[in-house]
Amino acid sequence: MGHGVLSGIRVADFSRVLAGPYATMMLADFGADVVKIEPPSGDETRHWHPPVDASGQSTYFGGVNRNKRSVVIDLTDAAGRAEAHRLAASADVVVENFRPGVLDRFGLSFEAVRTGNPGVVYCSITGFGTGAGARLAGYDLLVQAVGGLMGITGAPDGEPAKAGVALVDVLTAQNAVAGILLALRERDRTGLGQRVEVNLLQSLLSALTNQAASTLATGVSPRRLGNRHPSIAPYAVFPAADRDLVIAVGNDKQFGALAGVIGMPELADDVRFATNAARVAHRDLLDAELEAGLATAPAADWVARFTAGGVPAGIVNDVGEAIAFAETLGLDPVVEIERADAATATSTASAHRSIANPIGLAASAPEYRTPPPALGEHGGADWLPRSS
């Protein structure tokens, strides 16, 4: 167990797949003792491969389950339920993302757990809440569709597009972490726990920010603009001589700098482009001018020139390039955790590599103690007692 700001906090993690495990990993990184309860078949994502890492473990599972202990508990078995009840009774936090009512059937509802554990913070993660939406399956793709994100993502003349990662699950996980920490802070004051509820649909609607705000204010839903911005120009992807880059101009001063760098200073004085509102109104004409200029040099050259000139710009990286870029900035994006069975002390072949926790605390940095556990790795009589 860790020594971070959440040291001494036990989390009974009944969640699986992505939103719940991501949230509990964030807590584990800061010292919480997270006990991952899995059915005999394991978390579904253990079987989602390829790809696998050097140890043969699913990279999907490995990406969100470091710093945890795994215990196999069969909730359909009386002995398994008794073990789960003991764990829930010992926990500061319970996290679950079953469909509403499922854990109730096993005597593990919030009401049942708090009867013997009044200080418990019980976090339920659902797709669409516990009311009329309780029967709906909470899959990220489905929520991106019905929640409006796909309606504003994709080319104007193409099909709606999803984000390239299960973004709604990740957003919901972050809301779950915030809710759990708020409830723990309140418990410090009152000694009592409470239920925390987050769902994928509301997490997405909240994250729509300016797009939702404009819809509420005007009654008109935004349309798909591809990589363009509804309120700013030029703020999009542009082709250079060899590959794509992004230009993200946020004000008239930056546009004047852009026009100078690209060798077209007259654009800044053109009435069609002199103000942001004019640029948005004439974005097709502006894009054509910029594309003609950008075609004369490679993307990396343009990015260097734009950066020197104070124009926000960057290459459209793939994931590997993005990680390498963060490394060049000294952000240390990758952490390595040696596995206990590593062949030698210097071997990294079996080390677990993952992306670092994005939260930096100056006095209490996150810890990377153990790789994602094997199924049932920590079962047995010694897992239940709390450490003093």
Residue 222 lies in a domain: no
* pLDDT for residue 276: 96
Rounded distance, CA 86 to CA 80, Å?
10
Query: Count of domains in the chain?
Result: 1
Would you call 329 exposed, middle or buried from its count of C-beta atoms within 10 A (0-12, 13-18, 19+)?
exposed
CB 48 within 8 A of CB 60: yes
CA-based nearest residue to 6, from 25, 37, 29: 29
pLDDT of residue 114: 97
Q: Say if 298 falls within a structural domain.
A: no
Q: How many CB atoms lie within 10 A of CB 49?
A: 14
Note whether residue 149 is domain-resident: yes
Helices 19-29 and 167-190: angle between axes, nearest 10 degrees: 50
Identify residue 67 by its one-letter amino acid code. Answer: N
- C-alpha 124/C-alpha 374 separation (Å) is 25
Phi, psi of 122 (to 5 degrees): -115, 110
Segment holding 176, helix H or strand E: helix 167-190
- In DSSP terms, 124 is beta-bridged to 96, 197
Residue ranges of E strands in the chain: 10-13, 33-38, 68-72, 93-96, 121-126, 195-199, 235-239, 244-248, 313-315, 334-337, 352-355
Answer whether residue 171 is part of any domain: yes
Strands 334-337 and 352-355 turn out to be: antiparallel
What integer pLDDT is reported at residue 219 of this predicted model? 97
Residue 26 maps to which CATH number? 3.40.50.10540
Could you tell me if residue 368 is inside a domain?
no
Q: Which domain holds residue 18?
A: 10-207
Residues annotated as catalytic (active site), given as ranges: 169
Q: pLDDT tens digits, the chain, 388 residues: what are they?
A: 567 999 999 999 999 999 999 999 999 999 999 999 999 999 999 999 999 998 899 999 999 999 999 999 999 999 999 999 999 999 999 999 999 999 999 999 999 999 999 999 999 999 999 999 998 989 999 999 999 999 999 999 999 999 999 999 999 999 999 999 999 999 999 999 999 999 999 999 999 999 999 999 999 999 999 999 999 999 999 999 999 999 999 999 999 999 999 999 999 999 999 999 999 999 999 999 999 999 999 999 999 999 999 999 999 999 999 999 999 999 999 999 998 754 444 444 578 999 999 999 999 999 999 999 999 899 764 545 454 3
What is the structure's pLDDT at 3? 79
Task: Tell me the pairing of strands 68-72 and 93-96.
Answer: unpaired
- Taking the model in full, what pTM does it have? 0.92
Within-domain flag for 217: no
CB-based contacts of 217, cutoff 8 Å, min separation 6: none
Find out whether 290 and 238 touch, Cβ atoms under 8 Å. yes
pLDDT number for residue 382: 52
Q: What is the pLDDT of residue 342?
A: 42
Asked whether 350 and 341 are in contact (CB, 8 A), the reply is yes
Specify if 30 maps to a domain.
yes
Chain centroid to Cα 381, Å, comes to: 34
What does the alpha-carbon distance between residue 10 and residue 15 come to, in Å, rounded to a whole number?
15
Residue 349: its pLDDT value, please? 56
- Number of alpha helices (DSSP H) and beta strands (DSSP E) in the chain: 13, 11
Long-range CB contacts (< 8 A, 24+ apart) of 322-331?
Answer: 323/355
- What distance in Å separates the CA atoms of residue 314 and residue 227, rounded to the nearest whole number? 14
- Pairing assessment for the beta strands 244-248 and 235-239 based on DSSP bridges: antiparallel
In-domain check, residue 180: yes
The two tokens of residue 322 are 């993005």
